[in-house]
Structure 1
Amino acid sequence: MCNEYQLKVRRADYDAAFRGVGLDVLWSDAEPNRPPDRSFRPTDRAPILRRTRDGAGLEGLEARWWLVPGFHRASVSDWKAMCTNARIETAATTASFRESVRTGRCLAPVTAVLEYDAPLGWRKGQPKRRWEVSWPEDGASGPVRFLAGLCARSHPADLPEGLDSFAVITRPAGVDMTRIHDRQPVILSLAEGLDWLDRGDLAALPVPGPAGALTLREAPR
């Protein structure tokens, strides 16, 4: 958890939310022609947002979901540690993530998180239930929320031009998510996301909301 999520809007939809608070997003690459109903899974490239180097604006880019830390110099396939998620309890001290906590904070825009659980009577080899976890729209960013993330720039042997990658921060599940899993990603509003980019305080990341803050809907493939 979390190893699948959706973003069913285009860049322009959440760019507008940032313009509403006086921030422009400078994208470093073209928007992919990706079907909006295709979910993101580990090793996919997905859009992330981070502060520009001067701290005055936001940079947007497509990055690999599965962080490869900056110190890794062998090929990408040689990085075996599954760094799609960073636990909030240990991110600041884990070698793969601690530098990103200081200098590589990012946001991954999202419209729903997908999670799986085993129904009563489930046996190994049988498909699990698939759940779509969403939230009410708000006036700032509509259906979009932002997963608190950590990103890194590395130069693996097979990608000398460099690789941008990221991980999603997770924490113990709140009351809604505990129905299906014991952990969940840190889901942020626009204001909370900007605070994460600027302050980088893991302890200040918001806890999950009260019962009913999230909507869980069974969503078979």
Structure 2
Amino acid sequence: MCGRYVMAKTTADLVAEAEAEADANLELRQSWNVAPTSDVPVVLERFIGGPAGNGRPVRQVHVAQWGLVPGWAPDASAGARAFNARSETVLEKPTFREAVRSRRCAVPVQGYYEWKAGPGKTKRPFYVHRADGALTFFAGLYEWWRPARVPGEPGSWLLSTSILTTAAPDPADVRAAGEPSVLAELGELHDRLPVPLTRQGMAAWLDPAAGNPAALVHRVVSEAYTAAAQWTLAEVGPAVGSVRNDGPGLLAAPGPDPAAEPALF
């Protein structure tokens, strides 16, 4: 699952890492606590200068609402319930099945937060990110939505997005196979995993002329653990749990528990 993430790089850095184009007026808001329904950057490819076969595919960076709103939705509130899309059902669910056929994108993040269940009802937040500091690009979907036209008013389009998720690695299987230990840690952290794209997988996923969406979903899911093996986990403090908190300080390790007994010397 992915319910909060970090995206604080500059527009120039994002465009460079995505190997994309961006409008000169594009402005991205830095955030260390991105929550659903926020405006977020997405990377997509569209044909410029003509339809598929005549135009050229151009990779672009746009800003979208995190929470996909299908074109048939009566209002934009539908997006609040569709910020993640399960890979197992994305081809059949009415909310996502049209987007997965021809409106696929990548959602760039520096890392994401996940909460690990502890004793009782306690949960400890962790920051999951690439060890080398590079961006991760999650497999995503996008849609355009416009409210019912009001006579005399032009109306406006809303671009929205959702992040594809899959089952997290099974820790026992990871250890038995001798695979990177971070995969076992991810399996112990949560039973779902946002799908990270490999470089080659991202090119295939974004291709607007690609057919067979089932094969594309299968490919990016099958490569997800390979991409996730580059991640590392770091425990952070509970402040990340509130959307009112933001800033680089959220990535700091948690301080000592004030309720803990003092050390004896």
Q: Which moved more, 1:1-10 or 1:205-214?
A: 205-214
- AA matched with 1:202: V
Partner of 2:26: 30
d(CA) in 2 for partners of 1:191, 1:80: 29
Which residue pairs with 1:134 in the alignment?
Answer: 129
The answer on 1:144 being equivalent to 2:135 is yes
CA distance in 2, matches of 1:211, 1:96: 27
Residues 193-214 of structure 1: per-residue CA shift (max 9 Å, x gap): 1221124510111131399542
Q: 1:191 to 1:17 in 2, by over 3 A?
A: farther
Q: Which amino acid aligns with 1:145?
A: T
Opposite residue 172 of structure 1, the aligned amino acid is A
Q: 2:194 matched to which residue of 1?
A: 185
Q: Provide the aligned C-alpha RMSD in A.
A: 2.4
Unmatched 5+ stretches in structure 2? 49-55, 170-183, 240-265
| 219, 227, 239: which one aligns with 1:204 | 219
Deviations 1:107-164 (A, max 9, x none): 11111011112212336xxxx3111001232xxxx61110100000011249931110
Once the two structures are overlaid, the 10-residue window that deviates more, 88-97 or 48-57, is 48-57
The structure with the greater share of residues assigned to helix is 2
Aligned-pair identity (%): 31
- Matches of 2:192 and 2:142 in 1, distance apart? 21
Unaligned runs of 5+ in 1: none
Residue type matched to 1:116 in 2? W
Query: Structure 2-normalised TM-score?
Result: 0.70
Matches within 5 A, 1:134-173: 134-137=129-132, 143-157=134-148, 160-173=155-168
Bigger relative contact order, structure 1 or 2 (CA pairs below 8 A, ≥6 apart):
1
Cα pair distance change 1:35/1:115, threshold 3 Å: same
Which digits, 9 at most, give the CA deviation of each residue in 1:170-189, with x for residues without a partner? 00012331111000100123
Correspondences of 1:1-221 after superposition (within 5 Å)? 1-19=1-19, 24-27=20-23, 29-32=25-28, 34-36=29-31, 38-54=32-48, 55-72=56-73, 74-77=74-77, 79=78, 82-122=81-121, 128-137=123-132, 143-157=134-148, 160-174=155-169, 175-198=184-207, 199=210, 200=213, 201-205=216-220, 206-209=223-226, 213-220=230-237, 221=239
State the shift of 1:70 in Å.
1.1
**Contact in 2 for aligned 1:146/1:190 (Cα 8 Å):** no
Measured after TM superposition, the shift of residue 99 of structure 1 is: 0.7
Distance between the aligned counterparts of 1:71 and 1:177, measured in 2? 36
Cα distance between partner residues in 2 of 1:212 and 1:58? 26
Rg bigger for which structure? 2
Question: Aligned with 1:202: secondary structure?
Answer: helix
